[in-house]
Amino acid sequence: MKSELFKRIISSLILIFLVFFSALINDYIFLSILFIVIIFSWIEWIRMIERINFKKTQHFFHILFFLIYLFIAFIICFNIFVIDKYFFLIILMICVFSDIGGYVFGKTFGGKKLTKISPKKTISGSIGSFILSYFIFFLIYNYFNDLLFVKLDFKTLLLIPFIISLICQLGDLSISFYKRKAKIKNTGNLIPGHGGLLDRIDGLIFALPLGFIIISLL
């Protein structure tokens, strides 16, 4: 367990560095990486869906629907990134640390299972996701505050980490549901300690576009 936890933390730190480095160096490089990640995630989704005992029409629907969703999600993220790059990075980091918090707290404290969909998910892990989400949000928000184009009131500031982390966790559970039906542990093995790209961004692909929409309505 310690070895797996170590790999996951190291992988997360490397990914965080690559995200910030590429975003701060060149916007086009970052957006190109984001697009490539989405394409490879869709490929992993196809492989997973093909392992599930669906009818051909159901296979086609799941594959096409997910591609359309990813395309719309990319467009939303692209626009937010162009409008306010630093706000985008803040929300992205909430997603990353929500995942780290869930894994670290779940492995450390264990306890009651959260749901049957994903037996490894625990209530302590869910709480840890929220805790680290709030921690990283206020830490980075205070650092980037003067650079932000988007200005938020106090109520919104309190709600953002909760909303993003909640969507991340629900997105994670959604992909876990399909992985369970496909009888696989991971969607791939590209990233040590994480599995495939889809394993890594399962919460993020839902939290970023949906989170931005909800935040805009607050």
**Residue 150: is its pLDDT beyond 60?**
yes
The candidate with the shortest Cα–Cα distance to 12, out of 128, 95, 127, is 95
Between 39 and 116, name the one with better pLDDT. Answer: 39
Cα 207 to chain centroid, rounded = 6
- Which pair of structure tokens corresponds to residue 75? 């467009």
Q: How confident is the model over 13-34, as a mean pLDDT? A: 79
Cα–Cα distance measured from residue 201 to residue 96, given in angstroms and rounded to the nearest whole number: 9
How many domains does the chain divide into? 1
Q: Determine which helix (DSSP H) or strand (DSSP E) holds 5, and give its type and residue range.
A: helix 2-25
- Dihedral over Cα of 31, 35, 36, 41: its sign: positive
Q: What is the pLDDT of residue 195?
A: 74
Cα–Cα distance measured from residue 148 to residue 215, given in angstroms and rounded to the nearest whole number: 15
Cα 211 to chain centroid, rounded = 11
- Expressed as residue numbers, the domain containing 42 is 2-217
Mean pLDDT of the chain: 86
Q: Is 106 helix (H, G, I), strand (E, B) or coil?
A: helix
Cα–Cα distance measured from residue 35 to residue 51, given in angstroms and rounded to the nearest whole number: 25
Q: What is the pLDDT of residues 123-137, one digit of tens each?
A: 999 999 999 999 999
Cα–Cα distance measured from residue 173 to residue 41, given in angstroms and rounded to the nearest whole number: 16
Cα–Cα distance measured from residue 124 to residue 103, given in angstroms and rounded to the nearest whole number: 9
**Residue 20: is its pLDDT beyond 80?**
no
**Residue 1: is its pLDDT beyond 60?**
no
Q: What is the pLDDT of residues 185-214, one digit of tens each?
A: 888 777 665 678 888 888 889 998 999 998
105 contacts 81 by C-beta, under 8 angstroms: no
Lowest mean pLDDT segment, chosen from 22-26, 102-106, 204-208: 22-26
